[in-house]
Structure 1
């Protein structure tokens, strides 16, 4: 058949109820769609079978990770065009079910089934998580963290650059004049200033990653730091960095669950890009544990990605692609829900700063790093894993830019019974 692209284009447009803004180039050499638009390259019939067996985001993700689909042209432009159809048209599952009632669409699907090849579902790519057991137990959290962070320290060095900070940087204006490393240093310093760290204090860094926050706080502010992570690879890397900096007397890196920390109280706690892993059912427990570990008057800086709230929160479901390939068991909550849980745990929330645009800029730099080191990244992991990260980070950059998701720094205090918070009357002295 020499018209696969045209038939695919017609079917997609019937399902969407709108013109397809991308070109399609199919395995038989045929092309259809706007001639100057980025192309969705469908390499084989297996891509179609993946979509037939799992319509929607997960089927597309499996085809992308397996290399059955790719984008020819600018990735951001292609994703932005698709986002305009999906994100702004509401829940695509409802649209799909409605389209399937159309006799013409059902006829087109029958034709698609006939030329898609053997009627067996292709096996998911090996990079996909296999679910086992209950969510957010100590064991399942450790397994989820290992899937995401134990990809290899060398791989993360390619993506993150020398700073090895895996969270939103803090960019000056104008942004093009700053390096990623400078912006990440500025973010770490911003956290330290919000926590009002002073020489001799104890800091707990929850989800310490590769040790960047712990090292910065100890070196620049003279505090003693305990950094905890569930990733053995991260811990080994962080310990070496601490030793190389000559800070082993002030920084301890542990492989430990936050629920098992028992050596409080601490003067301050930083949690940067970790709380997304906690889960809504465990979030109050997380907040209560951090409250317990702080001394009266101590400060918590909770840096966390949040999603936009929905009118019907009961209808919220996690992103299938991210859950299966990127952050297993991760959940995003609206910032209002996060603040409410912190307050329920006993914290007084004193400041909230949204730095959404900063994360979009950071992700675009990470994508550029990955693309520049693509061949090595593939050798260190797998072609599928590298494709997961490229798609995930590029799509996330657009989600931040379009205000689909945000990132917030919440400063909270374990206010003493006297009510003396220790906060200055003009709080934002860190700006």
Structure 2
């Protein structure tokens, strides 16, 4: 999600130089250490931000209710990170527009308008670092597991569907807009149809999460599944699930990095995992997929994608608080790094369904908060506002169609014509 053109700073050896542009007027203010800003400068920043937001249909004072004037400086200084952190700190709340509508509106600002307002030089430092170093190397691969997925199975099970599917549901044909269970079962059946599963086939589920897709495919399609995951909490849950459902002869879970996979499989599936692979590792991911897939086999990748190819995860808030070192590939990259190894048989974009999925997740999450289900010592008010911002922020990105959700089917030396369901 690209909001760094709306907010930014120019760092200069410990002294922050803020460039505020409004038409033909520009003011450069030196602030030692970034700890002080004069009321006059803050007033100017407020006017500039108010004008730019208004051009996106977002009204300060009506759509965004300011509780602390320091919010404007934080937005200018820290971009989307400041936007999210000031929400967490209750410096502002939504008014007549819901948060996802505000985000969708800001996302639609013309790139040139966003560039004129502020330039995100601080994030460019990370961009350079990201280009030079592998942020998702084997030694760093468990950072996201520890930060996000090991929050506790109880936390996620409270507001996800009964199958613990932490990925986009498929809402085609689902009449009830709140029936997340039906949408997720719909998605899993769609995956099975696209993979053309038959009883006795072997399937590898890369980044298998809590193992519910693996168990679903084994139970409903008679296949044998090997799931691989680096999250200790999720693998523990998955193994217990296998025992509960009596699937020990059909489903196995491995606590390991996907790069260490061995064996040969008829089918490969990965859902919501490619976002954690990283740009530098995309070629290796498809190398691994090619190595473990049998000739004639099919692979299905479901991934959130960026609207265009970028070299770094562009959102500071998501990077710091939700998914460290995450990277959203573009649809172009889903083809580029696979084309020398596979035939791309089918691509389907149903990103609007992720908007609906996120809306239901937020509704269920808020219900948990209202009922006092979460542990206040672990999930305090700041944590709750962080998660609300994350869920609605992402909803807005899908609503604006700057972020997408693709399912891509690949084949390996397959002589038959592939017909998508």
Report the TM-score range of the alignment, normalised by the length of the smaller protein.
0.7 to 0.9
Q: Residue 318 of structure 1 is aligned with which of 314, 318, 332?
A: 314
Q: CA deviation at 1:10?
A: 5.8
User: Are residue 207 (structure 1) and residue 207 (structure 2) matched?
Assistant: yes
1:354-365 → structure 2 map (5 Å cutoff): 354-365=349-360
Give the equivalent residue in structure 2 for 1:124.
none
- Residues 39 and 293 from structure 1, CA distance in 2 versus in 1: closer, same or farther, beyond 3 angstroms? same
Give the equivalent residue in structure 1 for 2:335.
339
User: Are residue 349 (structure 1) and residue 344 (structure 2) matched?
Assistant: yes
SS in 1 for 2:298: strand
User: Are residue 56 (structure 1) and residue 82 (structure 2) matched?
Assistant: no
Between the two proteins, the alignment pairs up a number of residues equal to 366
Give the equivalent residue in structure 2 for 1:12.
46
Q: CA deviation at 1:40?
A: 3.6
Q: CA deviation at 1:383?
A: 3.0
Q: CA deviation at 1:50?
A: 4.4
Q: CA deviation at 1:17?
A: 3.7
Q: Conserved in 2, the CA contact under 8 Å of 1:199 and 1:222?
A: yes
Q: Residue 400 of structure 2 is aligned with which of 395, 399, 402?
A: 402
- Residues 87 and 246 from structure 1, CA distance in 2 versus in 1: closer, same or farther, beyond 3 angstroms? same
Deviations 1:208-249 (A, max 9, x none): 111111011110011111111111001111111111111111
Give the equivalent residue in structure 2 for 1:39.
65
- Residues 400 and 378 from structure 1, CA distance in 2 versus in 1: closer, same or farther, beyond 3 angstroms? farther
Q: Conserved in 1, the CA contact under 8 Å of 2:229 and 2:255?
A: yes
Q: CA deviation at 1:332?
A: 1.0
Give the equivalent residue in structure 1 for 2:111.
90
**Structure 1: gaps spanning 5 or more residues:** 25-32, 99-132
Give the equivalent residue in structure 2 for 1:305.
304
Q: Conserved in 1, the CA contact under 8 Å of 2:278 and 2:327?
A: yes
- Residues 317 and 272 from structure 1, CA distance in 2 versus in 1: closer, same or farther, beyond 3 angstroms? closer
Q: CA deviation at 1:23?
A: 6.7
Deviations 1:68-107 (A, max 9, x none): 4242446x62442354245413267633348xxxxxxxxx
SS in 1 for 2:141: helix
Q: Conserved in 2, the CA contact under 8 Å of 1:203 and 1:226?
A: yes
Scaled by the length of structure 1, the TM-score of the pair is 0.78
Give the equivalent residue in structure 2 for 1:285.
284
Q: Conserved in 2, the CA contact under 8 Å of 1:146 and 1:230?
A: no
Q: CA deviation at 1:13?
A: 2.6
Q: Conserved in 2, the CA contact under 8 Å of 1:227 and 1:253?
A: yes
Q: Conserved in 1, the CA contact under 8 Å of 2:108 and 2:400?
A: no
**Structure 2: gaps spanning 5 or more residues:** 1-37, 120-132
Q: CA deviation at 1:168?
A: 0.5
Q: Which is worse superposed, 333-342 or 283-292?
A: 333-342
Q: Conserved in 2, the CA contact under 8 Å of 1:167 and 1:272?
A: yes
- Residues 230 and 197 from structure 1, CA distance in 2 versus in 1: closer, same or farther, beyond 3 angstroms? same
- Residues 159 and 10 from structure 1, CA distance in 2 versus in 1: closer, same or farther, beyond 3 angstroms? farther
**Following the alignment from structure 1 to structure 2, what is the Cα–Cα distance between the partners of residues 91 and 319?**
18
Give the equivalent residue in structure 2 for 1:236.
236
**Following the alignment from structure 2 to structure 1, what is the Cα–Cα distance between the partners of residues 365 and 211?**
21
**Following the alignment from structure 1 to structure 2, what is the Cα–Cα distance between the partners of residues 412 and 319?**
30
User: Are residue 328 (structure 1) and residue 324 (structure 2) matched?
Assistant: yes
Scaled by the length of structure 2, the TM-score of the pair is 0.79
Q: CA deviation at 1:8?
A: 6.0
Q: CA deviation at 1:378?
A: 5.3
Higher relative CO (CA 8 A, sep ≥ 6), structure 1 or 2? 2
**Following the alignment from structure 1 to structure 2, what is the Cα–Cα distance between the partners of residues 64 and 92?**
24
**Following the alignment from structure 2 to structure 1, what is the Cα–Cα distance between the partners of residues 189 and 252?**
20
Q: CA deviation at 1:326?
A: 1.0
SS in 1 for 2:266: strand
Q: Conserved in 1, the CA contact under 8 Å of 2:105 and 2:400?
A: no
